[in-house]
């Protein structure tokens, strides 16, 4: 695991030293935030009333305890919108960070895609 983290750090440092004459376009941030929000919504829709492995998104009590329901949807929405708003704000305040911000958003979007595919593969409703 340590060699992999070291390799990732070296690649990021090499990328950070690239000479950039002007900051990247703001569309780097807008597009990646849109992708993150879209795939988070797909994750929530495919998880609805299903068993939830993430404790943060589990319903605490009631007939849907341990499943993704209203409180989990509210938490997913709040976390995703906060991340998107922070990304947009940082993209405005620090234009040179836009590629890194978009990388973080696209990584989160990729995680949501993976969870969505997993939910669809496990759910008998989609078969």
Measure CA 97 to chain center. 18
Q: What is the pLDDT of residues 44-90, one digit of tens each?
A: 999 888 888 888 888 888 898 888 899 999 999 999 999 999 999 99
Q: Which residues pair with 48 in a beta bridge?
A: 68
Report whether 91 contacts 97 (CB < 8 A). Answer: yes
Domain spans in the chain, listed from the N-terminal domain onward: 23-126
Q: What is the pLDDT of residues 11-39, one digit of tens each?
A: 555 555 556 578 889 999 999 999 999 99
Report whether 119 contacts 48 (CB < 8 A). Answer: no
Question: For position 108, what pLDDT does the model report?
Answer: 96
User: What is the value of pTM for the model shown?
Assistant: 0.78
Query: Does 124 score more than 70 pLDDT?
Result: yes
Between CA 125 and CA 53 the distance in angstroms is 19
Minimal CA–CA distance to 107: which of 13, 39, 30, 54? 39
Name the percent of the chain lying above pLDDT 90. Answer: 55
């Amino acid at each position: 695991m340590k060699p992999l983290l070291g390799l990732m750090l070296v690649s990021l440092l090499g990328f950070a030293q690239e000479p950039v004459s002007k900051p990247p376009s703001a569309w780097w941030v807008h597009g990646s935030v849109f992708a993150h929000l879209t795939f988070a919504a797909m994750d929530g829709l495919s998880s609805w009333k299903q068993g939830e492995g993430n404790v943060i998104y589990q319903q605490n009590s009631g007939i849907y305890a341990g499943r993704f329901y209203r409180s989990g949807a509210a938490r997913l929405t709040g976390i995703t919108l906060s991340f998107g708003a922070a990304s947009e704000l940082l993209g405005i305040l620090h234009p040179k960070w836009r590629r890194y911000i978009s990388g973080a958003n696209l990584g989160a979007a990729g995680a949501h895609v993976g969870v969505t595919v997993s939910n669809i593969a496990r759910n008998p409703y989609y078969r």
